[in-house]
Amino acid sequence: MSITQSRPALALSVLALFIGALFSAAASAQVFDAKSLTLDNGLQVVVVENDRAPVVTQLLMYKAGAMDEAPGKTGAAHVLEHMMFKGTREVAPGEFSALVAKNGGRDNAFTGHDYTGYFQSVAADRLELVMRLEADRMRNLVLDQAQFETERQVVVEERNQRIETEPGAILREQMAPALYMNHPYSRPIIGWRHELEALELQDLSAFYNTFYAPNNAVLVISGDVEFAQVRELAMKYYGPIAPSEIAPRPAWAEPPHLTERTIVLEDERVREPSWTLRRIAPSYGNDGPSEEVYALQVLMDIVGGGPTSRLYRALVIEQGIAVSAGGWYSESNRGPGSIGVWAQPAEGVSVDEVEAAARAVLEEVAAEGVAEDEVRRAVRRLQDSAATARDSLMGPAQVIARGLTIGLSLEEIEAWPERIGAVTPAAVDAAASAHLGPGPAVTTRLLPQGGEGAAAARSAPADAPPSQPVDTVEEPS
């Protein structure tokens, strides 16, 4: 599971709403009506005009994240994100956030495998301030040894809290190298402890100097602004920054997955069993906006998207062997995507029984396909899921920035409603046949210490993913 880490600062709950399904943020064609320009230095600037409130959000997203770290340097991208708040030649340590707060705004940042993002939400008349501040730290960051040692330890403590005290997080971290045998998605965003502790300031400097450049970033401004105003400010503050020469990234590709892999964790902190199954799948970054990607979105909504899904109806309602079940599709990646399903056994039911029933549902869909009415309802649910997307400032900015970061064009992002609406039952059946039938998969079992029989109180499963894509969950804090 790819959990995006963030510096301990202001939470922005709308991130969690929109990050789950990148292209579920559009309910009609041209929903954002975004305008775009590219500066001479390569920075793409996108503006979403929204005058519902006199506020504005700036999101600068770099096309570099944990997957771009040098071997043995896990955690460098995330520690650098922390260091971006520790001052430039013009702005003292901590002054960035203090100035934003003093002007009634809020700011934060997040690191993923594919990208690193920095955002501020302020009154519309304070836009120039945050654009000046953000442009300044794109090139003028001061990397101080003492500050680095402090922030590295902060991230080590984050790891303690987010990973090492959470059985589900431990299991997902152990699962990732089985699912991604060659791709750097196998490495934790927050970093392995031993590599975090061995990081040096020069590792962060190398990452910063390589990737933090206008020609490796996307700037999205969303809110009560006009395109001409943003264009003028972008040229004033970002325009003078020189681009960098960025070497082509490694063309990471997964080898054929030929074996079944099962990861089991027993832990005394687990209160009840849970089970998941994952497989590599196409993604926008690897495969582009292909018919199969859109069909898989519809398919996984039918199979695992909530209480009307095939899995929930079969395991929970009809057979009564699970208390919850669902599925997801993670398609919004630079690298390979994944599909998966999960289930939480009912009391007295074995994980073996639940797994067999879940696999039977998948194989039935793969063999027999889906009904036209199921496709129609799934498409409608996907399009309706974010009918109020433009009412948010961060939502459109996040959707657009992530889409551009993984290689889509603005036109392809805006065209999502039409393309998801064009998915046919035949395309969904083909996707089901290719991805849900018998074949190698990575399964996990999270069990109480001593096995399934040790479960006592019943609670939500620690490793059960939500119905949205697991690999793209954001956790701003």
Q: Is the pLDDT of residue 469 over 60?
A: no
> What is the pLDDT confidence band of residue 417, given thresholds at 50, 70 and 90?
confident
Are 224 and 293 in a shared domain? no
Q: What is the mean pLDDT of residues 323-332?
A: 97
Domain count across the chain: 2
CATH code of residue 291: 3.30.830.10
CA distances from 251 to 183, 240, 340 (A): 9, 32, 25
**Model pLDDT for residues 9-55, shown as the tens digit of each residue:** 322 233 333 334 444 444 445 678 899 999 999 999 999 999 989 99
| 182 assigned to some structural domain | yes
- Please report, to the nearest 10 degrees, the dihedral formed by the alpha carbons of residues 199, 201, 204, 209 taken in order: -150
Kindly state the tokens that stand for 325.
Answer: 């079940």
Are 203 and 311 in a shared domain? no
Q: What is the mean pLDDT of residues 107-123?
A: 98
| 464 assigned to some structural domain | yes
Q: What is the pLDDT of residue 6?
A: 38
Are 224 and 355 in a shared domain? no
| 321 assigned to some structural domain | yes
Q: Is the pLDDT of residue 463 over 80?
A: no
Q: Is the pLDDT of residue 142 over 50?
A: yes
| 249 assigned to some structural domain | no
Are 285 and 232 in a shared domain? no
Q: Is the pLDDT of residue 389 over 90?
A: no
Q: Which domain, by its residues, includes 329? A: 261-472
Are 217 and 270 in a shared domain? no
Q: Is the pLDDT of residue 474 over 80?
A: no
Give the residue from 324, 317, 318 showing the smallest Cα distance to 343.
324
Give the residue from 458, 429, 393 showing the smallest Cα distance to 121.
393
Are 216 and 320 in a shared domain? no
Are 352 and 216 in a shared domain? no
Q: Is the pLDDT of residue 1 over 60?
A: no
Are 286 and 220 in a shared domain? no
Q: What is the pLDDT of residue 392?
A: 78
Are 225 and 321 in a shared domain? no
Are 20 and 68 in a shared domain? yes
**CA 197/CA 312 separation, integer angstroms:** 43
| 418 assigned to some structural domain | yes
| 6 assigned to some structural domain | no
**CA 153/CA 397 separation, integer angstroms:** 31
Amino acid type, 300: M
Q: What is the pLDDT of residue 468?
A: 35
For the chain, what percentages of helix, strand and coil (3-state, to nearest 5) are there? 45, 20, 40
Are 173 and 319 in a shared domain? no
- Please report, to the nearest 10 degrees, the dihedral formed by the alpha carbons of residues 145, 149, 154, 159 taken in order: 120
| 7 assigned to some structural domain | no
Q: Which residues are catalytic?
A: 81
Are 192 and 270 in a shared domain? no
